[in-house]
């Protein structure tokens, strides 16, 4: 191939004539350029098809904040521990229930039973060879408070370990109440009926109130 510039008397360099230029040689020296030839001979990479699927964002729960002090680390660890209930509200509710149960026990033993026993003539107890009963109000109040605390701990254990804590706790509490009532009725009926009824009433109150407090303070996302 010839170029019109070959007849104008001008020198354009070994590879500078635009009509006869070799794209794989240097325009000034005429030396071959291997990297251009190799890059031109290499087929281009296939175009990646555009994906319709949106990129998946990183879950929020896997984010770890920057903790720069021991107190921050302690709060972060505390958030990862799930006790199953709102501990503060559950403890406050248990204390309130214990106060209510203690007042109810004092009312039954210290007021109602005391007046009933006082209204019975002393000769009646002697005729039936019975000792004049004592209400033991202080002991009954202490036992009712202890029963409330144990019931709250039992419900907490059921929340952590069982799939249906309310049902299991209610059944267990009522069965224990029935057992205690039956044990109280083991003596003569004149002496045992009053304490047995008191145990039955107090037990039902404890079970119902503790179960209600547990249902209002549970934090696990499942059926209570």
- DSSP letters of 212-223? HHHHHHB-SSS-
Output the six-digit token pair for 97: 């229930």
pTM metric for this prediction: 0.62
Over the stretch 30-72, which tens digit does the pLDDT of each residue have? Answer: 677 765 555 555 565 655 555 555 556 665 555 555 555 666 6
The confidence score (pLDDT) of residue 155 equals 94
Task: Please provide the DSSP assignment of 45-64 as one string.
Answer: PPPPPPPSSPPPPPPGGG--
Over the stretch 111-160, which tens digit does the pLDDT of each residue have? Answer: 998 888 888 887 887 787 778 778 888 999 999 999 999 999 999 999 98
Mean pLDDT of 200-211: 95
CA–CA gap between residue 84 and residue 220 (Å, rounded):
5
The confidence score (pLDDT) of residue 208 equals 95
Dihedral over Cα of 210, 213, 215, 220: its sign: negative
CA–CA gap between residue 220 and residue 166 (Å, rounded):
13
What DSSP character marks residue 131? Answer: P
Question: 188-218 burial string, b = 16+ CB within 10 Å, else e?
Answer: eeebbebbbbbbbebbebbbebbbebbeebb
């Amino acid at each position: 191939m010839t170029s019109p510039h070959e007849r104008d008397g001008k020198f354009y360099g070994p590879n500078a004539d635009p009509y006869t230029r070799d794209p794989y040689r240097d325009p000034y020296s005429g030396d071959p350029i291997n990297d251009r030839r190799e890059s031109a001979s290499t087929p281009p990479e296939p175009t990646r098809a555009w994906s319709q699927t949106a990129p998946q964002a990183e879950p929020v729960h896997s984010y770890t904040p920057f903790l720069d002090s021991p107190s921050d680390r302690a709060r972060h660890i505390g958030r990862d521990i799930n006790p199953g209930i709102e501990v503060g509200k559950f403890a406050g509710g248990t204390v309130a229930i214990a106060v209510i149960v203690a007042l109810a026990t004092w009312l039954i033993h210290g007021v109602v039973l005391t007046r009933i026993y006082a209204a019975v003539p002393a000769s009646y107890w002697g005729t039936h060879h019975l000792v004049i009963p004592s209400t033991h109000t202080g002991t009954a109040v202490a036992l009712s408070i202890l029963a409330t605390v144990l019931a709250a701990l039992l419900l907490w254990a059921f929340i952590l370990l069982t799939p249906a804590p309310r049902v299991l706790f209610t059944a267990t509490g009522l069965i224990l109440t029935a057992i205690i009532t039956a044990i109280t009725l083991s003596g003569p009926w004149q002496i045992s009926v009053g304490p047995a009824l008191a145990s039955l009433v107090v037990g039902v109150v404890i079970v119902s109130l503790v179960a209600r407090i547990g249902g209002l303070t549970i934090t696990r996302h499942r059926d209570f």
